[in-house]
Structure formats: C-alpha cells, structure tokens
Amino acid sequence: MDKEQIQAAIAKAKDISEKRNFKQSFDLIINLKGIDLKKQEHQIDAFITLPHSRNRKARVCALVGPELKAQAEQICDSVILADNFERYKDKREIKKIANSFDFFIAQANIMPKVATTFGRIFGPRGKMPNPKAGSVVPPNANLKPLYEKLQKTVRITNKSAPLIQCSIGTEDTDINLLAENASAVYNAIIHLLPNEKHNIKDIYLKLTMGKPVKVGEKLEVVKETK
C-alpha cells in the first residue's frame, strides 16, 4: 500500500468532511475477498501495536489482587480488587463497566474469578483481558509499559464480516502519523490472511461522520463501503 496514496486519501477525507462539534476519529477499512468466515484459518482476531498514538486516550481498568493494587491505582484509570468481585452481581452495572473502558488488565492468578464474575458480559463485547494484548499479567508485573503500549494498541477482527475496520487516529493527527499507522495495520493484516495481499479487495479511509475515500490513484469517494 503506497504511502503517498494513503496520505492523498486522508487529505481528501478531511477535505470532504463537514466540520463537527466533536473530534472525529480516522478509521481504516480494509475489505477482504476470497475469505470464508466459517473456516477458522480465515478468521482474524489480533492486537496490533501502532507506531504512533491514536491521539485519543485509551481507558484501562485493572482487575488485580493485593500484589498489584498500589501500582495499578497509580497507573491505571480504574482498579477493581479481586476481594471486591462479589459486589458485582448486577448485569447492568457490569455492562456499564465494560462500556467505560477500552482495555482490561488482569492478574493471571485471579483469571478464573475474572471469568466467573465478568466473562458473560465482557466476552461478547471483546473486553476480556487477553494474553494476545499482553493484558494478562503475573503478580509481579510492571504495569507502566503495558499501559503505555495499550495507548497505541488496536484490535482487528473479521469474525462478523469480511472486512477489517479500526481507528488509526483523529482528524487533528498529523497526516504522516496517520499514514504510518495505516501502513502498520495493513502490513500486519496481510501476514494474517491465507493468501496475503491477494485477499485484499479494496481499502478506504474515513472520518467518523464522513464519507469513505478509496485509497488509490483515482481517489474515489463512495457513499458507503462495499
């Protein structure tokens, strides 16, 4: 994927977007072809560390025991202690927690309790602490590097449709940084596909409320992705 074409598509997406009263996210959309989602080997569920921040804070909640309590309280945005898990029996409250955070860190030795308490709600929402993201940690872990890494981490999946969509930044992120983030996602995805770049149908960039712009020489603007 050519960097200059990515930059041109980003510039076009900005140009055709109406001004909004909130900061819009920049999304990368990669449509796939030759993929059978019924086959496990064609399914993607991975975490990618971008080279640059998405310019939007990722909220992180720590689910820990006493060993990581002090450190988690200092570094993470919220902490739920294992000794207090029994308080969380109301599904509506757990849903609220799931929707309030982007990532959850959990201490490995309490993961069974995490699964029992939060799994039914967190699981379907893709919010369970995940070893793929490095968010299941030992009791002696250093949480600061993990917290910083999660600020640049995106989850990519094609389990529900033959496409990948993720945020790569915001409308006020430098165009070069957006392009490098987009390239990082693309390069990671092609190595996860059975036929690599031959499984890529087309690529779009769009702002939250904007029209998708196809990456390519003609800079096609579409009403919706294919």
Q: What is the pLDDT of residues 36-86, one digit of tens each?
A: 999 988 999 999 999 999 999 999 999 999 999 999 999 999 999 999 999
In this prediction, residue 134 carries a pLDDT of: 97
The whole-angstrom separation of Cα 33 and Cα 58 is 31
pTM greater than the 0.95 cutoff: no
Q: How many residues does the chain have?
A: 226
The domain made up of 60-150 is a member of CATH 2.60.120.10:
no
pLDDT of the residue at 118: 98
pLDDT of residue 68: 98
Q: Is the pLDDT of residue 163 over 80?
A: yes
Q: What is the CATH number of domain 3-55+152-214?
A: 3.30.190.20
User: Within the chain, which residue ranges are assigned CATH 3.30.190.20?
Assistant: 3-55+152-214
* pLDDT surpassing 90 at residue 217: no
pLDDT above 70 (res 114): yes
